[in-house]
Chains A and B, each alone.
Chain A
Amino acid sequence: MLKDFLMLAARSITHRKMRSWLTVIGVFIGITAVVALISIGLGLDQTIKQQVAGIFGVDTFVLVPKGSFGPQNHAGANTEEYALDLQYLKSIPGVKVAAAVRQRTGFVQGPTKGDGPSTQGFLPVMGLSPELMNEFESFTGKIEVQPGGRLFTEADEDVAILGADTSERLGAKVGDTILVAGDDKKELNLAVVGIMQPDDEGKSSDTNRGFSAGMNPGQGKDTIYVPYDTMNLLWGAGNDVLVTLVRTQPGDDVDEVADRAEKALRARGSEVSSITYSDISDAIGTMTSTVSAFLAGIAGIALLVGGVGVMNTMFTSVLERTKEIGVMKAVGARNSHILTIFLIESGLMGLVGGMVGTLLGLGLSLVASKFIGRFFGVHMAIVASPALILITLAGSFSLGAFAGLWPAWRASKLPVVDALRYE
């Protein structure tokens, strides 16, 4: 019987082609907006998370001064300095590799050239763990020195790598010796082992993913890089650590280790916060879902308008077919039959709107992802899961049926006598 009702409803829709199409347009605009926004929202969320996951991997977390991470803080604001003993950090169970970055400004003297005076001045000095240069490429980007030089090794002491500009200003080449002075008249003669490859502006976005400020040492052209331990010799235990990258032992839960490390360091007086992938992912999730909810609200208004359109059409249809309803009832249709026929009719219009809307919405999000991909240099995934499509189709049928509920109910309650008399 339902199949026959479907046929009756479909006939009546196709009989009023123009009006049915206009109604369907009202629905599919709303559905298009919803599908596109959800799909783009999910895609954005997924893409950002993939990017972050690509940086963090499954086993890495970051330690930063307390208060420098979180939605309420801008980068760098309210940052408290913290001191860090890398040896202690490495002794915490579950920690496999730990690498830190700290930065100071120090007095630097270039190599002596013949009898002329050497160049000297105050320059930023950055202490890098050797591991940072080769273990955490996803964070730092590829750190390269110019041919003839090399990066730090773990055995290194009293060495330095110069930023390209610094090298020029100090007149120092690989093999030269420079002097760096720290606190308390501590000073060291450091052998230059490499000159940083100057960044090619154009391709920097490729290597410099995620974190930029302070995280890509290769960018500081006017900086002097020294091994982390050397830095400690010059300035004592660091209370100026910018960031620490930690890799956990395989099999250990990164969140647990991060928690353990954070607590242990705090117990020793280091005001430090740990950031794991799941922290960032949660923060991104909060952000994208807020945006999504806002967009969905707008799309919801469009849907509401579409629903009112269906309702209007159905009321018109009921009025127009009053006599027809009377005849159907006279030949034996029950109220529930009339109700069902009209509900199917409005549901079908919703469904057709849903199908067109889903296709257009997915098309729109494809265009959007191409657009985003071109402007931001990322490949944005489109999320078009069968579940999303099914829910949308079921939802659009329900929307139609729901909008048709009142008109259909009115139709079913029409007294036969009045309906038959209606002209």
Chain B
Amino acid sequence: MGYHAEDGANNVLVHSSGEIGMPLLNLNGVTKDYQLGKTVVRALRGLDLHIDKGEIVAIMGPSGSGKSTLMHILGCVDTPTAGEASIEGTQIASLNERQLVALRGRKIGFVFQTFNLMQTLSAQQNVELPMIFQGIKKKERARRAKELLAKVGLADRVDHRPNELSGGERQRVAVARALANDPEILLADEPTGNLDSESGGTILELLKKLREEDGKTVIIVTHDPDATAIADRTIRLRDGRVVEEVLDA
């Protein structure tokens, strides 16, 4: 899948498919400082990044390079200290807490390294959770949750609690949950980090399938070389900056 990207805030990007539009995610000179005790940690130091709709992007880098911080800003759970971060042209910094919640509720699905499923809920209920917060009716929720669990290959596990599922199955439930509100973007933070290579491979295949079949944009923060294999692009971070972009065409 070929594609052309140019640095710059408002450049028009041209997909191989010929679709024209602004980047889905656009970060320009983003910095993020933390107060950690008495010292200020500069997690991001002027980072530029543009991600298009339908891309699979892998973000790699040693710990402390700012991966998680970048992830949080892309996921609208944090706002930059300085610089511009926008999603579909909307500046994240201009949104209040409530609007941010609404935005990530509809646009972004999270997949975590440690799955982070509710232990007290069944697989189906876990998948329904994001829909509850969007106020979707019970019947519709149940239908969609079952459909999504079938999509990730867990049609026969809907009533299982997380502790009755294997690690790979749990992560697939988490992927189904991330898809609950049909978001444009899937943000996966080390999705294979707690899995054996076989289960990890299944998850990566699943993420790839989601881009292929549903046109989801997938961003994976990872140490896993296998993850870079399914990515269109691999971005390496160091000290809060992008040091390398690799196009895996």
Chain A contact residues, CB within 8 Å of chain B: 1, 4-5, 8, 11-12, 14-15, 323-324, 327-335, 337, 416-417, 420-421
List of A residues within 8 angstroms of B97 by Cβ: 335
Q: A327-B112, A331-B180 are in contact. Are A337 and B133 (CB under 8 A)?
A: yes
CB < 8 Å neighbour of B133 from A14, A15, A331: A331
CB < 8 Å neighbour of B135 from A1, A323, A329: A1
Add 6 more A-B contacts to A324-B118, A331-B177 (CB < 8 A).
Answer: A8-B121, A323-B116, A327-B118, A331-B133, A332-B104, A332-B130
A-B contact pairs, 20 of them (CB 8 A): A4-B138, A5-B132, A8-B120, A8-B121, A11-B118, A11-B121, A14-B120, A15-B119, A327-B112, A327-B116, A329-B101, A330-B75, A331-B130, A332-B102, A332-B104, A333-B133, A335-B97, A335-B101, A416-B77, A420-B112
CB < 8 Å neighbour of B105 from A5, A12, A15, A332: A332
Determine the distance from Cα of A11 to Cα of B120 in the docked complex, in whole angstroms: 6
Interface string of B77-113 (1 = CB under 8 A from A): 1100000000000000000011001101110011010
Determine the distance from Cα of A14 to Cα of B178 in the docked complex, in whole angstroms: 26
Interface string of B58-82 (1 = CB under 8 A from A): 0000000000100010010110000
Q: Are A332 and B181 in contact, with the CB atoms below 8 A? A: yes
Determine the distance from Cα of A416 to Cα of B78 in the docked complex, in whole angstroms: 8
List of B residues within 8 angstroms of A332 by Cβ: 101-102, 104-106, 130, 133-134, 181
Q: A11-B120, A324-B118, A335-B97 are in contact. Are A330 and B129 (CB under 8 A)?
A: no
List of B residues within 8 angstroms of A1 by Cβ: 132, 135
Q: Are B78 and A334 in contact, with the CB atoms below 8 A? A: no
Q: A11-B121, A323-B116 are in contact. Are A334 and B98 (CB under 8 A)?
A: yes
Shortest CB–CB separation between residue A348 and chain B, in angstroms?
A: 14
Number of A-B contacts (CB under 8 A): 66
List of B residues within 8 angstroms of A4 by Cβ: 132, 138
Determine the distance from Cα of A334 to Cα of B138 in the docked complex, in whole angstroms: 19
Chain B interface size range: 20 to 34
Determine the distance from Cα of A323 to Cα of B114 in the docked complex, in whole angstroms: 11
Q: Restricting to B106-159, which residues have a CB under 8 Å from any CB of A?
A: 106, 109-110, 112, 116, 118-121, 129-130, 132-135, 138
Determine the distance from Cα of A334 to Cα of B96 in the docked complex, in whole angstroms: 12
Q: Are B77 and A331 in contact, with the CB atoms below 8 A? A: no
Q: Restricting to B169-218, which residues have a CB under 8 Å from any CB of A?
A: 177-178, 180-181
List of A residues within 8 angstroms of B129 by Cβ: 328, 331
Determine the distance from Cα of A4 to Cα of B125 in the docked complex, in whole angstroms: 10
List of A residues within 8 angstroms of B130 by Cβ: 331-332
Q: Are B120 and A12 in contact, with the CB atoms below 8 A? A: yes
Determine the distance from Cα of A348 to Cα of B109 in the docked complex, in whole angstroms: 31
Q: Are A417 and B98 in contact, with the CB atoms below 8 A? A: no
Q: Are A420 and B101 in contact, with the CB atoms below 8 A? A: no
Q: Are B77 and A417 in contact, with the CB atoms below 8 A? A: yes
Q: Are A334 and B101 in contact, with the CB atoms below 8 A? A: yes
From B101, B109, B110, name the one whose CB has the most chain A CB atoms within 10 angstroms.
Answer: B101
List of A residues within 8 angstroms of B121 by Cβ: 8, 11
From B72, B112, B132, B138, name the one whose CB has the most chain A CB atoms within 10 angstroms.
Answer: B132
Determine the distance from Cα of A1 to Cα of B137 in the docked complex, in whole angstroms: 8
List of B residues within 8 angstroms of A334 by Cβ: 98, 101, 133
